Amino acid sequence: MTLNRRQFFKLCAAGAATSAISALGLMSEKAYAAVREFKLLRAKETRNNCPYCSVGCGLLMYSQGSGGKNSEHAIFHIEGDADHPVNRGALCPKGAGLVDYVNSPHRLQYPEYRAPGSNKWQRISWEEAFKRIGRLMKDDRDANLIEKNADGVTVNRWLTTGMMTSSGMANESGIATQKFARSLGLVAIDTIARN
């Protein structure tokens, strides 16, 4: 069963007896006049998880488009998801500030480089960034990899570099991250859940 309240309004305006309001003679013409004074706002409602620690609290996020069918949506409000079995609607201070993280003007949007001794960041390309990271990792690993321990057993430990990973990953990305890091010999691996 569907009730079409638009048709209900039209029928009432025409004086047709379709509801108690009009049938009892209590429909007012003023009911239609007041409607236009308000601005109709629209927000997309999306369920997601907080990525900032491994607890994985549930979120409800609200966004609005800037106009146009395929326009990008901007998030303007985030709250804890009351239905979520983990956080039951509550958020920690970091989670409660999520919408400001998302919209922060200080968000890193491209790779930046600060030379040793310099106090200035300079923008570099992704190509340069990947090359530089790869070069430094390789040099450091070549210089410091411990291949065998005192007893001559192969250990392949790389202790001079550590890795900070995301905590909001699926099992599959977790496995891929683990394989990547351990195959290099990295021992110090941590997630941003700890900060």
Partner 1 sequence: MSNASEIPVMPIDPSPLALKPLLAAKPAEVYAHRAKRLERLAEDSPLADYLKLCSVLVGVQAKLAVTDMGPAPEFNADQMQPMSVGFTQDNRYWLAQLQSLLSDALPLVPANVAEIIRELMQQAPEQLADWGNCLRRGKFSDVPAQYSLFIWAAMSLYWSHWAPALISRMDANAVKQESLCPVCGSHPVASMVREEPREGLRYLHCSLCETEWHYVRAHCTACDQSEAMELWSFDDHQAAVRIETCDDCKGYTKMLFVSKSPQLDAVADDLASLALDAQLSEQGYSATTVNPLLLAHEADGSV
20 lies in the site for partner 1, by CB under 8 A: yes
132 lies in the site for partner 1, by CB under 8 A: no
9 lies in the site for partner 1, by CB under 8 A: yes
β-pair partners for 162:
188
The binder of partner 1 chosen from 15, 83, 133, 135 (CB under 8 A): 83
The binder of partner 1 chosen from 4, 70, 154, 171 (CB under 8 A): 4
The binder of partner 1 chosen from 38, 69, 93, 109 (CB under 8 A): 38
Decide: 191 and 167 in contact? Cβ < 8 Å: yes
The binder of partner 1 chosen from 79, 97, 124, 157 (CB under 8 A): 79
CA distance 62 to 47: 9
CA distance 174 to 188: 15
77 lies in the site for partner 1, by CB under 8 A: yes
Nearest to 146 by CA among 179, 184, 103: 184
67 lies in the site for partner 1, by CB under 8 A: no
The binder of partner 1 chosen from 15, 89, 134, 162 (CB under 8 A): 89
93 lies in the site for partner 1, by CB under 8 A: no
The binder of partner 1 chosen from 15, 86, 88, 131 (CB under 8 A): 88
86 lies in the site for partner 1, by CB under 8 A: no
Nearest to 185 by CA among 159, 166, 163, 164: 159
Task: Indicate the pairing of strand 112-113 with strand 122-123.
Answer: antiparallel
- Residue 27's Cβ-side half-sphere holds a number of Cα atoms within 13 Å equal to 19
CA distance 94 to 192: 12
Pick the closer one to partner 1 by CB: 2 or 154.
2
Pick the closer one to partner 1 by CB: 31 or 176.
31
Structure tokens at 160: 């001079």
- The answer to whether the Cα torsion of 112, 114, 120, 124 is positive or negative is negative
Residues forming the site for partner 1 (CB under 8 A): 1-11, 14, 17-28, 30-35, 38-47, 60, 62, 64, 76-77, 79-83, 88-89
